Structure 1
Amino acid sequence: MLMQMVEILGPISIITLIGFLMGRSSVGLETRTLSTVVILVATPALIFHTLISMQVTPDTIRTMGGAALVCISVSGLLGLAALLWLGGPIRSFLPALMMPNSGNMGLPLVVLAFGPDGLRLGIAYFFVVALMQHTLGMWIYSGSINPKTLLRQPLIYSVLAVLVVTFTGVPVPSVILVATDLLGGMMIPAMLMLLGASLATLEVADLRPALLVALGRLLFGLASAFMAITILGLQGPVAGIVFLLSTMPTAIVIYVFAERFQQNAKQVAGSVVVSTALTFICLPLLVWAALTISSETGAAARGAPHSQTETFTDSTRFGH
């Protein structure tokens, strides 16, 4: 188990450290351009290629997407209750409590902990989180709801393309598959480098709210994960991946929105830093818990006559 942890956490730490050092050095890292490429090009390409090439079923998309919605909803309700109780600014800290960093940190962990086939489950979860961050998260900070925001997200069009191919059986030209494979391949390392570079520039302006938000994000993530696993009856690798992705720290994009709409940006930035640091400290325990949940619930599912998990795991053989 120890060597497995090193193999999972080592690459993530190294690539994040490279981004951090580049962000601190005179060389610098053009995070704005790189993040734009990741959001507009690499992420939609990875989602399209992964879901198409691995022939993800509509049931898998519904289950992982539903789990993401449950986790975000539970975290949001718990976060709202905590902020009302403590008298904290809701528009500033509610998105930080409910929106996990399932992309920069979550997807690399899923790939390394559950193998390449686990990526399709992680992607089906992540795209819902990303859409919620760029719609609901932005709406909370801006103070207004604009449905047109959803239509400007490339993620939604990549998912729509996947659904069209899945339900119609239209063949995808090999040139499209190769192109999206190459473009999507840069997403995970680029995200980790962006994470490191962003942490190099963010500062903790006020430690107390940063600590409270960081602890809240972790605790609410744990609570939402167990509720989603219980409510949806998730088992095996599906349960482990949902647990891992829901317990990730506050997403860095939340700080971007806080700064854009002038909602205590410095305190939100501090929350992102402390939340990420806390998660890094807890990563060995979180990964161990995810693998344990996957193993124990998977064993229980295999002992049952037939379960929902078999629908998703029969065609998903993990490398670890």
Structure 2
Amino acid sequence: MHLVFEIVTIIAPVALLAAIGFIWVRRGLDYDVAFVSRLSMTLSTPCLIFMALVRSKVDPALLLDTVLASTLAYVIVGLLAWALVRLLKLDLAAYWAPLAFGNTGNIGLPVALFAFGQAGFDVAVVIFAVMAILSFTVGVWVVAGGGSPMSALREPLVGGTLLGSVFLVMGWSVPEWLAASLDLIGQMAIPLMLITLGVAIARLQPRALGPALALCVAKLALCTVVPLGVGLAFALPKMTLGVLIVQVATPVAVTSYMLAAKYRASPDEVAGLVVVSTLLSVVAIPAILAFFI
């Protein structure tokens, strides 16, 4: 009973903020998702990630293992997702990125913070950084059907991640007045992301939920087993292993739907993946946490 209460306590803030966004839209109130998403992705989240990396207390050896393990996990998941999409003869542009990458920002970071505290959040940020770089390079390249993956370097989120990584490795710091300013901006990120998640889910009108269920179950299995195996191979500490599995196993991100809509890569089908995988995560994430709390 204590374990159940603890997991509910962890999940409750995430669910409550998402519910605020969901109810907001259902009551007919305006919410400019494009503006809020742009504000979050180009300003608050880069500041949050940058300052988290600058202040990270992750042991250098553990940091390297986390980067290598998360990179390997995403590469393996990506290759298996690629094979699955090809095997089922699905549209690669529409299905590969949603199956390979998860909602590590909107869901993964808050869950890591509430479940594992600041130490877990620091690890989650490192994994998020790896995912962001892969998603905004290879992921966007696949969804767009071409172009240069290096165009991702113009994304503030990727820039903040890379710059924060440099500060972390070099042991640099920033002036207190600047740190305080960046902290204030970054503190907007998690509430904005969770409320926007609720808004986006409320507005989605997915079709073909039957096939989406099978794919989401396959994604969840893949994204749980692979990071578990990789984490054990790297002998990651229990907390780090838990954060890695939670991050990789997060559901399909709303940004996947937004990218699919932008590049006309079957957005309705991707919307179905977002809704179904998010509903599955209501059971899956508490189940994963039960093994690590």
TM over 0.5: yes
Task: Give the letter for the 2:254 counterpart.
Answer: I
- How much has 1:56 moved relative to structure 2? 4.2
Q: Is the 8 A contact 1:96 1:213 kept in 2?
A: no
Q: Is the 8 A contact 2:57 2:119 kept in 1?
A: no
Structure 2 counterpart of 1:238: 240
* In the alignment, structure 1 residue 185 sits paired with structure 2 residue 187: yes
Task: Give the letter for the 2:204 counterpart.
Answer: L
Task: Give the letter for the 2:269 counterpart.
Answer: Q
Q: Extract unaligned runs of 5+ from structure 1.
A: 292-320
Describe the SS at the equivalent of 2:118: coil
Structure 2 counterpart of 1:303: none
The farther-off stretch of 145-154 and 160-169 is: 160-169
Describe the SS at the equivalent of 2:243: helix
Task: Give the letter for the 2:216 counterpart.
Answer: A
- How much has 1:276 moved relative to structure 2? 0.6
Describe the SS at the equivalent of 1:115: helix
In the alignment, the residues of structure 2 paired with residue 115 and residue 177 of structure 1 have an alpha-carbon distance, to the nearest angstrom, of: 21
Structure 1 counterpart of 2:9: 7
Task: Give the letter for the 2:25 counterpart.
Answer: G
Structure 1 counterpart of 2:93: 91
The alignment's TM-score, normalised by the length of structure 2, stands at 0.93
* 1:253-281, Cα deviation, whole Å (9 max, x unpaired): 11111111111111111111111111113
In structure 2, the CA distance between the partners of 1:167 and 1:113, relative to structure 1 (3 Å rule), is closer
Match of 1:197 among 196, 199, 205: 199
In the alignment, the residues of structure 2 paired with residue 172 and residue 131 of structure 1 have an alpha-carbon distance, to the nearest angstrom, of: 23
In structure 2, the CA distance between the partners of 1:14 and 1:89, relative to structure 1 (3 Å rule), is same
- How much has 1:109 moved relative to structure 2? 0.6
In the alignment, the residues of structure 1 paired with residue 151 and residue 186 of structure 2 have an alpha-carbon distance, to the nearest angstrom, of: 23
* In the alignment, structure 1 residue 269 sits paired with structure 2 residue 271: yes
Task: Give the letter for the 2:28 counterpart.
Answer: S
- How much has 1:192 moved relative to structure 2? 0.7
In the alignment, the residues of structure 1 paired with residue 266 and residue 165 of structure 2 have an alpha-carbon distance, to the nearest angstrom, of: 39
Structure 2 counterpart of 1:301: none
Superposed CA RMSD in Å reads: 1.8
In the alignment, the residues of structure 2 paired with residue 38 and residue 47 of structure 1 have an alpha-carbon distance, to the nearest angstrom, of: 11
Sequence identity of aligned pairs in percent? 29
In structure 2, the CA distance between the partners of 1:3 and 1:27, relative to structure 1 (3 Å rule), is same
Describe the SS at the equivalent of 2:90: coil
Alignment of 1:1-320 (within 5 A): 1-56=3-58, 58-291=60-293
In structure 2, the CA distance between the partners of 1:61 and 1:31, relative to structure 1 (3 Å rule), is farther
The farther-off stretch of 133-142 and 160-169 is: 160-169
Give the structure with higher Rg (CA): 1
In the alignment, the residues of structure 1 paired with residue 105 and residue 225 of structure 2 have an alpha-carbon distance, to the nearest angstrom, of: 20
Q: Extract unaligned runs of 5+ from structure 2.
A: none
Q: Is the 8 A contact 1:217 1:250 kept in 2?
A: no
Task: Give the letter for the 1:204 counterpart.
Answer: P
Describe the SS at the equivalent of 1:249: coil
In structure 2, the CA distance between the partners of 1:261 and 1:166, relative to structure 1 (3 Å rule), is closer
- How much has 1:164 moved relative to structure 2? 4.0
- Give the total of aligned pairs: 291
The alignment's TM-score, normalised by the length of structure 1, stands at 0.85
Describe the SS at the equivalent of 1:116: helix
